[in-house]
A and B are shown apart, each in its own frame.
Chain A
Amino acid sequence: MANGGYQQPMAMPTQPLAGGNVGQTSANTYNTAVNATGMGMGFTPNQVTPNTVAGTNMQQYQNPFQQQVIDASMADMNRANQMALNNVGAQAQGAGAYGGSRQGVAEAETNNNFARQAAAMTAGLNQAGYQNAQNMAQFDIGNNFAAQNQNNANNFAANQSMMGGANQLANLSQQGFDYSNKINENMLNTGNAQQNLIQQIINSANGQYGDIAQYPQNMLNLPVAALGGAQFPTTTTNAKQPGLFDYLTMATTSMGGR
């Protein structure tokens, strides 16, 4: 019977979704969601092919004992016919006409009736048998048609369920990925804070070390700083160079003194 079996539309995942950590679980879930979505998108319903009476082998629906029934009925009718013929003979004998033409006519009529009834009986049984076979075939055809439709409906529902599951897996994968990233980000921030603290210690130590290493050079500035505000004494010297008036004065003084 074509398309009779339910088809499992989705293969079960070959690896457990839950991995060793949330990142691995997210990746496994993501891959499964992708595969399931691909399978779901490739879903095609089976073509419904109704069977027909014309295409059905009716022999399989025939009563295997039909011929026996006919034979038995025929035997019964034959016996009844013999009995009727015997009655015809007895009546002819009682009338002193046994073996006469009238007996022959009566027996022929009896046999003729037997033949008609036998033919009618056989035809009726064959007709009934075929009608019964046809009914059974139509019943099976109807069942098959309904089964095909139901299988398609079941497969479609299963595919819808799988697509819904794939969507849920995708969401879980995204959730796991976000969890993983957030946890990792927090861990990195913690580490960065710790490293920053250590770096500050190092910077402080290097600053102090630099002060020590540079102390001799810086020390030279101390005397300079100490002398920066000192006031040194200033000595002023006046040197007079004689002018013309001085020479004239000197000459006048000399002449007056003679």
Chain B
Amino acid sequence: MSGGKGGQTTSTASIPQWVQDESRENVARANEIAQLGPIRNYGPSVAAFNDNQISSFQNNADLASAFGMNAPADVMANMPTAQDYGGGVQAYGAAPLVDQQLASLQLNDPNQASAIAKQFMDPGGGLFPAIQSQQKRLG
């Protein structure tokens, strides 16, 4: 006959081997994906002004000029040139500005730029031009 005070019970959940294998594989895949780095978007960001809008702008300026007020002769002067992205889409893309910002980061804070660049693969093909050059220099 047994029993008495002072006994202890422990429950242990055991993870099946196949689950452990899948988890390891997922982590490995995550590390691989992390090497991809950020994916740039070279597509359009903002739709450009169209002919109706530009004509309206110009008409407004011409009306002001007719009444003797100052008005630009070309309302689209100093505006960036829209790009043709195909399919009739005239738009502005943010990619050139991002390039500019990356180049500025490389110029002003090269250590941070190289530290960022080391976190992922060389994208190749001209992506991240400033950081890519840093990667090649370090490599």
Contacts and interface: CB of A to CB of B under 8 A. Distances in A.
Given A227-B19, A246-B4, A202 B91 contact: yes
Given A19-B66, A202-B44, A234-B13, A223 B22 contact: yes
State which size class the interface on A falls in: 35 or more
B108 interface: no
Nearest to B33: A216
A123 interface: no
Interface in B38-53: 39, 41, 43-53
State which size class the interface on B falls in: 35 or more
Contact of B39 (A19, A213, A219, A232): A213
Interface in A195-249: 195-196, 198-199, 201-202, 205-206, 209-210, 213-214, 216-217, 219-220, 223-224, 227, 230, 232-243, 245-246, 249
Contacts of B9: 236-239
Interface stretch (A24-32, A55-63, A85-93): A24-32
Nearest to A196: B47
Given A195-B50, A198-B91, A220 B33 contact: yes
A191 B41 contact: no
A187 B59 contact: yes
Contacts of B55: 187, 191
B41 A237 contact: no
B56 A191 contact: yes
A220 B26 CA distance: 7
10 contacts: A27-B63, A183-B59, A184-B59, A194-B53, A198-B48, A202-B47, A209-B41, A210-B41, A223-B23, A238-B7
